[in-house]
């Protein structure tokens, strides 16, 4: 392999290897995707395909849940940091331009849209949740949801942060919250 | 490089511990082809790196549901790459600056930029073939590229493109005939 390809693999393993090792292969293929999806052990960012299939095989406690509410808002819950990537994948599946990250990129602005009501988050990306309204996300923008303890200056309520970011492509894999291997366990 | 068939056999194990090793095998067998796929399309090494990275991360996220019994890893991966590229193009067409990256994303080291630039140069013949394919339908173009440049079998190309094998073979044959006719016309 070339130097780039070796480097890419090393970076991938460092950021996501543990989570991939925890992944179960699923033979079962449900034909319907549940409206509320909960997962465990899936710590990869950028997942966008057939997430629910993985979740069907999960036997441990759920790591995240993404719920489309009756009023059109979407609630994102991260119960363990291993659920970050799965939640992001589900958001993509739902067509919601929002992403959970451990820290907002510098290009982002503190959220300033009153229609959206972000709620609490935790110190790590665990036991954190946000409720957002996808209809209020302006074209060309993406929301980044972060916990409150990363030193960001945003103020979105009692813990969680919501940032208004450029929706440029591609977003790099987001890492689980620092200090957490992605295996979770403290829900 | 190992063949995709051997990868497929190895992946039937499905145990938790082997998933990372299985994915590494898929990665090592295919990342060169995926990089070349993007190198034919993008003149910027950083973009090639980003799109390759995005493809790998998405593939890893979907790996739990990948069923080697339904097809080899290579067409599966190229299908993801095609989706990533289509998304990239759609966003670029919307006027978003695809080259604008979020702060904090690591740039490639100089030696890797040089390496990818070399790979982009090496794909000149491939780009010329793609340009000659401009007269063909999108499906025919994709079929020619996957089979003639990426080395997929027609069966694998059909799987990657999500079309029946017979349709792929027919379109490929027609594309080759038109390209030959074009060659004679140029002489």
Residue A114, pLDDT score: 37
Q: Which residue of A has its CA nearest to B26?
A: A9
Residues composing chain A: 187
Strands in A161-166's sheet, in edge-to-edge order, are A98-100, A141-146, A161-166, A109-110
Query: Which one of B27, B32, B62 has the shortest CB-CB distance to A50?
Result: B62
Distance of alpha carbon A61 from its chain centroid, rounded? 17
Q: Are B53 and B46 in contact (CB under 8 A)?
A: no
Q: For residue A48, what are its two tokens? A: 């966008």
Query: Which one of A12, A21, A107 has the shortest CB-CB distance to B56?
Result: A12
Q: Which residue of B has its CA nearest to A17?
A: B20
* Cα(B15)–Cα(B19) distance, integer angstroms: 7
Residue B13, pLDDT score: 42
B-contacting residues of A 85-104, CB under 8 Å? 85, 89, 103
Decide which of A170 and B48 is more confident.
B48
Residues B22 and B46 in one domain: yes
Decide which of A51 and A97 is more confident.
A97
- Closest alpha carbon to B58 in B29, B80, B34, B87: B80
- Whether B65 sits inside 8 A of A8 (CB atoms) is no
Residue A84, pLDDT score: 78
Does position A64 have pLDDT exceeding 80, yes or no?
no
Q: Which residue has the tokens 């290579």?
A: B74
Domain's final residue, options B122, B145, B170: B122
- Whether B58 sits inside 8 A of A47 (CB atoms) is yes
- Whether A9 sits inside 8 A of B65 (CB atoms) is no
pTM for the structure as a whole: 0.51
Residues B87 and B43 in one domain: yes
B185–chain A nearest CA distance, Å: 40
3-state DSSP assignment of residue B166: helix
* Cα(A142)–Cα(A134) distance, integer angstroms: 9
Query: Which one of A8, A22, A169 has the shortest CB-CB distance to B56?
Result: A8
- The pLDDT tens digits of the residues spanning B17-37 come to 577 888 888 999 999 999 999
A76–chain B nearest CA distance, Å: 19
Residues B83 and B39 in one domain: yes
Query: Which one of A21, A26, A47 has the shortest CB-CB distance to B17?
Result: A21
Greatest Cα pair distance, chain A, in angstroms, is: 50
Residues B63 and B139 in one domain: no
- Mutate one of B30, B37, B61, B90 to test the A interface: name it (highest A CB count within 10 A): B61
> Angle, nearest 10°, between helix axes B73-93 and B45-62?
130
Residues B106 and B37 in one domain: yes
Domain count, chain B: 2
Residues B130 and B181 in one domain: yes
- The pLDDT tens digits of the residues spanning B163-185 come to 888 999 999 999 999 888 876 65
**Complex ipTM > 0.90:** no
Q: For residue B56, what are its two tokens? A: 């790998």
Q: Which stretch of A7-21, B52-66, B89-103 has the lowest confidence by average pLDDT?
A: B89-103
How crowded is residue A36: how many other Cβ atoms within 10 Å of its Cβ?
Answer: 12
- The pLDDT tens digits of the residues spanning A79-90 come to 777 777 778 888
Residues B138 and B107 in one domain: no
- Determine which helix (DSSP H) or strand (DSSP E) holds B82, and give its type and residue range: helix B73-93
Contacts of B47 (CB under 8 A, 6+ apart): B38, B98, B99
Residues B7 and B49 in one domain: yes
* Cα(B136)–Cα(B62) distance, integer angstroms: 32
Decide which of A8 and B108 is more confident.
A8
Residues B129 and B67 in one domain: no
Quickly state the pLDDT bin for B60 (edges 50, 70, 90): confident
* Cα(B107)–Cα(B113) distance, integer angstroms: 9
Query: Which one of A8, A22, A57 has the shortest CB-CB distance to B53?
Result: A8
B-contacting residues of A 36-55, CB under 8 Å? 42, 44-51, 53-54
Quickly state the pLDDT bin for B63 (edges 50, 70, 90): confident
* Cα(A174)–Cα(A137) distance, integer angstroms: 21
- Whether B91 sits inside 8 A of A168 (CB atoms) is yes
* Cα(A70)–Cα(B92) distance, integer angstroms: 33
Q: Are A68 and A74 in contact (CB under 8 A)?
A: yes
3-state DSSP assignment of residue B34: helix
The domain containing residue B177 runs over which residues?
124-187
Q: Which residue has the tokens 């992946």?
A: B11
Residues B21 and B92 in one domain: yes
Q: Within an 8 Å CB–CB cutoff, is residue A4 touching chain B? A: yes
Residues B161 and B93 in one domain: no
Beta-bridged to residue A144, according to DSSP, are: A99, A163
Region of residue A95 (left: phi > 0; alpha: psi -120 to 50; beta: else): left
Sort out which chain A residues have CB atoms less than 8 A from B56's CB and list them: 8, 12
Residues B72 and B128 in one domain: no
């Amino acid at each position: 392999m070339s130097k780039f390809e070796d480097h890419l693999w090393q970076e991938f393993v460092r950021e996501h290897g543990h989570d991939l090792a925890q992944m179960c292969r699923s033979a079962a293929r449900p034909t319907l995707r549940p409206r509320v999806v909960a997962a465990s052990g899936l710590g990869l960012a950028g997942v966008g395909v057939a997430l629910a299939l993985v979740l069907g095989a999960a036997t441990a406690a759920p790591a995240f849940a993404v719920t489309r509410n009756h009023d059109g808002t979407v609630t994102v819950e991260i119960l363990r940091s291993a659920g970050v990537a799965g939640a992001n994948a589900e958001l993509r599946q739902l067509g919601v331009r929002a992403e959970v990250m451990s820290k907002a990129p510098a290009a982002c602005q503190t959220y300033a849209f009153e229609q959206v009501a972000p709620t609490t988050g935790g110190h790590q990306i665990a036991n954190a949740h946000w409720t957002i309204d996808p209809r209020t996300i302006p074209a060309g923008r993406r929301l980044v949801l972060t916990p409150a303890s990363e030193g960001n200056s945003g103020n979105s309520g009692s813990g969680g942060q919501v940032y208004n970011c450029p929706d440029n492509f591609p977003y790099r894999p987001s890492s689980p919250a620092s200090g957490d291997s992605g295996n979770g366990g403290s829900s | 490089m190992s063949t995709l068939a051997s990868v497929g056999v190895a992946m039937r194990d499905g145990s938790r511990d082997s998933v990372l090793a299985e994915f590494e095998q898929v990665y090592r067998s295919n990342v060169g082809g995926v990089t070349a796929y993007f190198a034919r399309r993008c003149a910027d090494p950083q973009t090639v790196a980003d799109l390759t990275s995005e493809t790998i991360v998405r593939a890893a996220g979907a790996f739990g549901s990948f069923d080697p019994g339904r097809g080899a890893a290579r067409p599966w991966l190229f299908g993801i790459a095609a989706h990533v590229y289509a998304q990239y193009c759609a966003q670029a067409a919307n006027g978003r600056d695809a080259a604008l990256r979020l702060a904090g994303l690591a740039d490639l080291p100089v030696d890797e930029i040089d390496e990818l630039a070399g790979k982009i140069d090496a794909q000149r013949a491939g780009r010329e073939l793609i340009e000659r394919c401009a007269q063909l339908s999108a499906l025919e173009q994709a079929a020619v590229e996957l089979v003639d440049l990426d080395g997929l079998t027609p069966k694998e190309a059909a799987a990657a493109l999500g079309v029946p094998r017979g349709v792929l073979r027919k379109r490929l044959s027609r594309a080759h005939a038109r390209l030959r006719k074009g060659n004679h016309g140029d002489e």
